[in-house]
Amino acid sequence: MSDRPKTLLTQNSELRKAGVYNWTLPAFVVTLPNGERFNCCPNAGSCARVCYARFGTYRFSNVAQRHLQNLLYVLEDLEGWEAQMTAEVDHRRFRATGKAHRLFHDPTDHWLHTWIQAGGKAVRIHDAGDFFNRDYLDAWCRIADRTRHVLFYAYTKEVTLIREASPLPRNLRIVFSFGGREDHLLDDSVDRCADVFPTLDDLENAGYSDQEANDLLAVTMPTTRIGIVANNIPTANKRFNGKTMRRMLVRTEGEPE
């Protein structure tokens, strides 16, 4: 059995500014110690070609090893991982601060309104990776249900899996992100969806709302259309070729994969 991380949740530089903790798996397909290949993002589509978690610091050996360690814990001992995650999120550092979040709007959703005003803590599930099966998703639902003072949220390509598991705990919020194999099941006038755009102008012209100021806006803004401006990664930008993540699925004849 693999070594277990002493602390499961971390804070990267971007999410720390919003007071958000995060949990990370490897991005897309990874090789396990036994030589088997495991897909952490079963419904990844075009997103796999431009995923920021497959570039830069995510490829450092120590970072990749930690993400693999996280995955192995879940695969080898889901019950133990769930118990440790629940205990960690139930720690006093996850208690509300009493100082309201500055999110520039007041949602009509009663639970969110209360959480924002109380200065509640949040966990972003999957800085990389996704809900790779139902057992794993159910474990997160149980964790959220036991720690109702914390907001959990995730971007996901697993449309069918989420819908089959609904209703989710009210403190577990989902943003469907375009670029997956189930994009055709989404309606961004009804489903809360995220798309990646080449520029802020492109984002606004498409009628989407930018979440750059605070990642929490992705689940708190009173809109179903969440916009993200592409990271400045040359290789990824070349593959985007001026398209949105959603449009990358639409190829002209002869266009290379």
Q: Considering its fold, how many domains does the chain have in total?
A: 1
Using an 8 Å Cβ cutoff, are 177 and 209 in contact?
no
Angle at 247 between CA 183 and CA 192, to 5 degrees: 45
Return d(Cα 182, Cα 156) in angstroms, integer: 11
**Is 144 inside a domain boundary?**
yes
With 0.95 as the threshold, say if the pTM is over it.
no
Angle at 28 between CA 25 and CA 32, to 5 degrees: 70
What single letter denotes the amino acid at residue 142? R
**Is 7 inside a domain boundary?**
no
pLDDT at 125: 98
**Is 255 inside a domain boundary?**
no
**Is 3 inside a domain boundary?**
no
**Is 2 inside a domain boundary?**
no
**Is 235 inside a domain boundary?**
yes
Residue 153 CA, distance from chain mean position: 7
- Cα separation of the two ends of the chain: 39
The three-class DSSP label of residue 112 is helix
Angle at 156 between CA 154 and CA 159, to 5 degrees: 125
Q: Cα-Cα-Cα-Cα dihedral of 156, 94, 145, 131, to 10°?
A: 20
Return d(Cα 143, Cα 152) in angstroms, integer: 9
pLDDT tens by residue, the chain, 257 residues: 778 889 999 987 778 878 899 999 998 899 999 999 999 999 988 776 666 665 556 565 778 899 999 999 999 999 999 999 999 999 999 999 999 998 877 778 999 999 999 999 999 999 899 999 999 999 999 999 999 999 999 999 999 999 999 999 999 999 999 999 999 999 999 999 999 998 899 999 999 999 999 999 999 999 999 999 987 766 556 666 667 878 765 443 333 33
**What is the CB neighbour count within 10 angstroms for residue 15?**
19
pLDDT at 47: 72
**Is 69 inside a domain boundary?**
yes
3-state secondary structure 207-236: CCEECCCCCCHHHHCCCCEEEEECCCCHHH
Query: Can you give the residue range of the structural domain that contains 183?
Result: 13-249
In the block, tokens 């070609």 appear at 49
Where do runs of H (alpha helix) occur along 7-101?
13-17, 47-50, 61-76, 78-89
Q: Which residues of 81-96 are buried (b: 16+ CB within 10 A; e: fewer)?
A: bbebbbebbeeeebee
**Is 128 inside a domain boundary?**
yes
What single letter denotes the amino acid at residue 115? W
